[in-house]
A = this chain, B = another copy of it.
Amino acid sequence: MNEYELRDILNAVKSENLSVDEALLRLKMKPFEDLGYAKVDYHRGVRQGVQEVIFGLRKTKEQIHGITMNMLEHGAKDILITRICRESADYLREMLPKDISFDYSEISRTGVVNKNNDKELKGLIVIASGGTSDLPVCEEAAITAETLGNRVYRMYDVGVAGIHRLLAQTDVLMQARVIIAVAGMEGALASVIGGLTDCPVIAVPTSVGYGASFGGISALLSMLNSCASGVSVVNIDNGFGAAYSASMINRMKDV
C-alpha cells in the first residue's frame, strides 16, 4: 500500500465518505485469499508485476488443484506450476474444466494451465547448458521464461570440455539481453560465458554428476567463485528462479 492510496483513505475519512471502521478494515485488509493450507497472493500481480506461481514440491495433488481453480476463478491465464510430478499432473488434467488447456512438460515437471497463446515474446534470453543431463533444469527455465513473455534461445550441450561448441555460437550469445548458464559437474560454463559477453549472466548449478559433485555443491561453489564479472547465482537446480530474474532484466527495456 503506497503513499497515494494511504492519502486517499485518509481523505475519504476526513470527508466522511469512509467510516473509521471501514478505513480500519481497509488498512488492515489482507491482500491474499486464505485457502486454509495456503494463502494465495493476489496483490502480487500489482506488487511485482507477475501473478503468483504454484511451487508444486511437497504439495498434494488436491492442494495444487485447489489453488489452480481459485486462480482460474480470479480470471488468471498462464498459470505456471513448477515441480509437479506426473501423478499430480494427470489428476489436474482430469479435474480441470474441459475448455481449459493444460500443457505439461514431463522432463522438467512443469505445467501451464490456461495458456495465453496471443502474447508476444520479447527480447532474448539465451539458455546455455553444459550437457545433456542438465535438460530438466534448462527446460524449467525455458518454459518459465516463455510463460513470462520472453523470447528464448536454447543452446544445449556446450560444456567447456569441448569449448569450440560454445565458441561456434558466440554471435548468438552476443545478441542476448540476459544469459542463463546451466551446468553441473565443474560448473565452469558460467565463467567462460561471462568472459565472452557483455550482458548479465544468471548461473544455475545443477545436481547432475556423481562423487565429489556432491549434489551440485561443486558447481555452486564454482559459479560463486567465478572470476568473470556480471555473473550471479541461484540455488541448485533452480531453473525457475533463474528465469524469473532473467525475465525481470530482459523486460526492463520494454517497460
Interface residues of A (CB under 8 A from B): 2-3, 6-7, 10-11, 13-14, 16, 20, 23-24, 27-28, 30-32, 37-39, 41, 43-44, 47-50, 53, 57-59, 63, 130-133, 135, 156-165, 167-168, 170-171, 174, 177, 184-188, 191-192, 194-200, 202, 205, 207-238, 240-242, 244-245, 248-249, 252-253, 255
Partner of A39, one of B43, B158, B219: B158
By beta carbon, the residue of chain B nearest A206 is B211
| A241, chain B: closest CB distance, angstroms | 6
Q: Shortest CB–CB separation between residue A247 and chain B, in angstroms?
A: 9
Are A161 and B227 also in contact (CB < 8 A) when A10-B13, A48-B198 are? yes
Evaluate contact between B6 and A160: CB separation under 8 angstroms: no
Which residues from B are CB-within-8-Å of A242? 232
Given A168-B28, A252-B177, do A157 and B20 touch, yes or no (CB 8 Å)? no
Residues in B whose Cβ lies below 8 Å from that of A20: 7, 10-11, 14
Query: Is the pair B224, A165 in contact by a Cβ cutoff of 8 Å?
Result: no
> A142 to chain B: closest CB distance in Å?
14
With beta carbons under 8 angstroms apart, the residue of B48, B186, B232 that contacts A225 is B186
The complex places the Cα of A229 from the Cα of B224 at a distance, in Å, of: 19
Q: Could you list some 28 contacts between A and B, CB below 8 A?
A: A2-B171, A2-B174, A6-B24, A10-B23, A32-B165, A38-B132, A39-B165, A41-B165, A50-B198, A159-B227, A160-B195, A163-B163, A185-B226, A186-B227, A188-B191, A198-B248, A202-B232, A207-B211, A209-B225, A212-B216, A218-B218, A224-B235, A225-B235, A229-B245, A230-B244, A231-B241, A232-B242, A252-B252
